[in-house]
Amino acid sequence: MMAARRFKIPRLAQAVLTVALIYAAFRVVFDIILGQPIPASLMTMYMFFVVSGVFMVFTFTEESTQELVAPIRALVEDPSKKLVRNIVFLIVPLAAAGLTYMKMLPDFAAPLELRTIHPAPPSSAELYGKRFDLLNLTNPFRKFEKADPEKFQQLVAEGGAVYMANCQYCHGDKLDGKGPYAAALNPTPLNFQDVGTIAQLQESFLFWRIATGGPGLPKEAAPWISSMPVWQQFLSEDEIWKVILFLYDYTGHRPRSWEHE
Amino acid sequence: MTPRRAFRLLGTLLLLAFIFCLVPPDGTGTGSGAALAQQSADAQTAATGIAAPKLTAEDYPTIAGVNARVVVWLAAQLHLWFAAFVLAVPIFVFIIEAIGMWSRDRRYDDMAYEFIKISIAAYSLTAVLGGLLVFSLIVFYPHLTQYLGAIFKETMFYYALLFFVESAALYLYYYGWHWLQGGFRKWVHLTIGLLLNAAGTTLMFLANGWLTFMMSPAGIDPSGAFTGDVWTALHNHLWNPINIHRMVANVAYGGSIVGAYAAFKFLSASGAKEKAHYDWMGYTANFIAICALLPLPFAGYYLAAEIYAYSQQMGITLMGGIFAWLFIIQAVLIGTLFLSANYYLWCGMARSEGAARYYPYIKYIAVVLIGAFLVWFTPHTLVLTNEELKALGGPYHKYLGPLGIMPAKNTAVNVMILFTALSFLLYRRANRVVTVPWEKAGNAVQVALFSAGIVNIFFLGIYHGYFTNTVYKVASSIPQVITTLVVIAVSILIDAMMYRGAKEVAPLRWGRVPDRAQYALFLLAVAFTWLMGLMGYIRSGIRQHWHVVGVFRDNSPDAFTPTLGYAANVVSVGTMIFMAMVIFVFWLSQISGVKREPDGYWKEQRA
């Protein structure tokens, strides 16, 4: 009696299926379940290395490699596969040409931009008519956090009031970058709740950015697109420092520092 | 004089020469008029300081439309690539020679000799490129060269002297290899190797002092003049972080280049014996590269943290600002290094039939490695089309954004390192079976160790990385590293004890490895070279429009940060030139062993 032959998916098909399944999983999880699609630029990088990984696993032994390339070799060398070969050799260049054509079609979308999210501050800056050493500048009210917590809370509340009167229109009343004006801006205002924004920065950096706004961004990294006002023209020095206290207090982040608490 | 006495004398002389080079230049106790005059001049300089010149674009010479920045950039980079190689090779040649002496296995000695043979031709190229760099600096940036020369004159003089010591030690080490064999002679040879390494490492430390002074100058008074002494200038904030980083990186880099050499020889070898030899050589080189690669991310992180601590401006420029995008390329290249090294190990399992037992585990290691790698290079700020921006509701990705900051990267790289070590452990087990009765317990302890280590790395990364302030966030990387290193060290120790007296299930056949593995070794060398070029550019580029940060302004027409594409192109061209030169060096070593007897060319000589 002949033993029943177990069906085995060819190695090449296994590799292609693995890549396809991983791609589908990314799409389903991020696009549908989480509602946050992976941008095309990142997806290209992800899939490049997924394909590399699959290639590594499928080729680290000689047997597996031979099994993987056997259908490709047969397609090119086997005389009995002439029809399939001709079809593939027609489809591949046509697909490449089609892809090139689609890529070259004029597009009305704005070009992609590499946006630098944290502009580097100068070592010192001219603010309120005097020079501030940004490397050593500290928040004058931060000391009250431990020395006088009641006073500190009062300062935070004052900072909150200034924020609500001036900043929330863009940065949102939850500090999540979703203020009423946010939708009209590109790039959208910063989300302070994100761990990658104010939690990464020293308070002196925030002071400089708020005080000088969009026009104060460094020329080394021009051109900048920011509609942030020059707040030193509208707020006092103390008001900015209090707003900074509020930003950290509300979000629960701590400013970057080099000292243990 | 007996040979032993001659060696002692020679050793003493070399040692004295080395110590002389390290003596501080104070001249204390010298009472000559010239010395006193010099002291007086020094005192004068110390009082007034060395002021940084204020230059205009006209102060920078232009020669026949040559782009000064690109010339100096390429000369410095090519010099550094070769220097890293010739500094690293003697380090592990010394170690391999010592292993050979300890094990009395001649193969180690032969391999060490072959390694040092490659570095001889590279050594000349290093010196030639160093000369090109110095002349380029003098010609195109005379004021900067003069300024640095005034501050570092002593170290520059000693640098030149040490170069003689290094050359003498290298030539003695190489040409005396077969002469200094056996017993006491071998010890003398090893000592010369040690001297060679000491001189080479000191040279690198001196040069590191010059370049780190340009990034984090020390001894500068409020008016901007340098008033410190040479030690202050040398021992600036970033000197030691760079010293450590370069030291480790050089060893990894040297291993990768020698690995590429072995791959080159393997692919061009015709006989099985030759293939076996170069396969073993490639494996050893890759092993050295991996060993140095494992602590490298931590050394790099330490350097970046110190840059941030020194200057918020430089730190942000480096990792959050304009150069952040190059860090994504860096992440991709580092991941490529790990993938290549692992792939090489997996392919190497073909050397023994016994490895088939472990094949099923490889796919799981690959899944973890690729998963960690994707986290490792996920950027914080995304490149988005307008449609994507709208779909995400802002420039950040709610779920992938948190993977863009360092705690996620540190966690990912530690996992990658642990699983690379796991690949190595499986490779070591390939051709053997355990005979000790506590095999199950040993394996269980190893599994527990890896699991606990990974849990701890994740806890440190997630809790301290996202729920505490920055100081703990940065500091938590240290216990993460320690966890990784402890897991690796203890599991290798357990493995070594378990496999003591193990039975060989199938012989390890050197040379039986697919050609694909050799291309993985090439990829390792190219990725390393490119990576060093890119990161070298970033390190230098964060000075932006300063020759010496905050002290000496760069007012040349090139005092702007080039676009990332332009910078990447310059580095890529440099990489190609370097790889072409390296292939030339490989080819030289190939033809040096070829001996032809042309028919009828030479006159027959009468006996």
Residues A41 and A152 in one domain: no
Question: Could you tell me if B384 lies within 8 Å of chain A, comparing CB atoms?
Answer: yes
Domain count, chain A: 2
How far A156 CA sits from the closest chain B CA (Å)?
19
Range of the domain at A91: 11-95
Q: Please list every residue in chain B whose beta carbon sits closer than 8 Å to the beta carbon of residue A259.
A: 471
* CA gap B125, B580 in Å, rounded: 13
Picking from B343, B382, B397, the nearest residue to A60 by CB comes out as: B343
Question: Which of A219-223, B115-119, B205-209, B282-286 is predicted least confidently?
Answer: A219-223
Residues A84 and A27 in one domain: yes
Residues A168 and A211 in one domain: yes
**Domain membership flag for residue A85:** yes
Q: Tell me if residue B117 falls in helix, strand or coil.
A: helix
- Section A157-179 average pLDDT: 94
Q: Please list every residue in chain B whose beta carbon sits closer than 8 Å to the beta carbon of residue A114.
A: 325, 383, 564
Q: Which position has the token pair 């729920």?
A: B467
Taking a C-beta distance cutoff of 8 angstroms, is the pair A75, A88 a contact? yes
Residues A128 and A214 in one domain: yes
Q: Where does the pLDDT of residue B187 fall: very low under 50, low under 70, confident under 90, or very high at 90 and above?
A: very high
Domain boundaries in chain B? 359-507
The span from the first CA to the last CA of chain B, in angstroms, equals 37
- Section A217-227 average pLDDT: 69
How far B148 CA sits from the closest chain A CA (Å)?
23
Write out pLDDT tens, residues A37-73: 999 989 999 999 999 999 999 999 999 999 999 999 9
**Domain membership flag for residue A107:** no
- Section B19-23 average pLDDT: 41
How far A87 CA sits from the closest chain B CA (Å)?
30
Write out pLDDT tens, residues A107-147: 887 777 666 666 777 778 889 999 998 878 999 999 999 99
Q: Which residues contact A162 (CB under 8 A, 6 or more apart)?
A: A235, A239, A242, A243, A246
Q: Where does the pLDDT of residue A97 fall: very low under 50, low under 70, confident under 90, or very high at 90 and above?
A: very high
**pLDDT at position B560, please?**
86
**Domain membership flag for residue A186:** yes
Residue in chain A nearest B315 by alpha carbon: A120
How far A58 CA sits from the closest chain B CA (Å)?
9
Q: Please list every residue in chain B whose beta carbon sits closer than 8 Å to the beta carbon of residue A49.
A: 335, 339, 370, 373-374
What whole-number percentage of chain B has pLDDT above 70?
A: 92
Q: Where does the pLDDT of residue B21 fall: very low under 50, low under 70, confident under 90, or very high at 90 and above?
A: very low
Residues A199 and A136 in one domain: yes
Q: How large is the C-alpha radius of gyration of chain A?
A: 29
- Section B542-562 average pLDDT: 90
Residues A52 and A149 in one domain: no
This complex has an ipTM of: 0.80
- Section B434-440 average pLDDT: 90
**Domain membership flag for residue A1:** no
Question: Could you tell me if B379 lies within 8 Å of chain A, comparing CB atoms?
Answer: yes
**pLDDT at position B40, please?**
45
In a mutational test of the A interface, the residue from B215, B308, B317, B566 whose CB has the highest number of chain A CBs within 10 Å is B317
Q: Please list every residue in chain B whose beta carbon sits closer than 8 Å to the beta carbon of residue A204.
A: 312
A–B interface: beta-carbon pairs under 8 A: 182
Residues A135 and A90 in one domain: no
**pLDDT at position B33, please?**
40
Residue B290 has pLDDT above 80, yes or no: yes
Residue at a domain's end among A50, A78, A95: A95
Task: Kindly provide the b/e burial profile for residues B510-539, where b requires at least 16 CB atoms within 10 angstroms of the residue's own CB.
Answer: bbbbbebbbbbbbbbbbbbbbbbbbbbbbb
Residues A165 and A237 in one domain: yes
**pLDDT at position B20, please?**
41
Write out pLDDT tens, residues B512-533: 999 999 999 999 999 999 999 9
Write out pLDDT tens, residues B348-395: 998 988 889 999 999 999 999 999 999 999 988 788 887 887 788 777
Residues A141 and A241 in one domain: yes
How far A116 CA sits from the closest chain B CA (Å)?
5
Residues A172 and A241 in one domain: yes
Average pLDDT, chain B: 87
**Domain membership flag for residue A203:** yes
**Domain membership flag for residue A89:** yes
What is the domain-level CATH number for residue A148? 1.10.760
* CA gap B273, B538 in Å, rounded: 45
Torsion angles phi and psi, residue A124, rounded to 5: -145, 155
Residue in chain B nearest A46 by alpha carbon: B374
**Domain membership flag for residue A141:** yes
**Domain membership flag for residue A103:** no
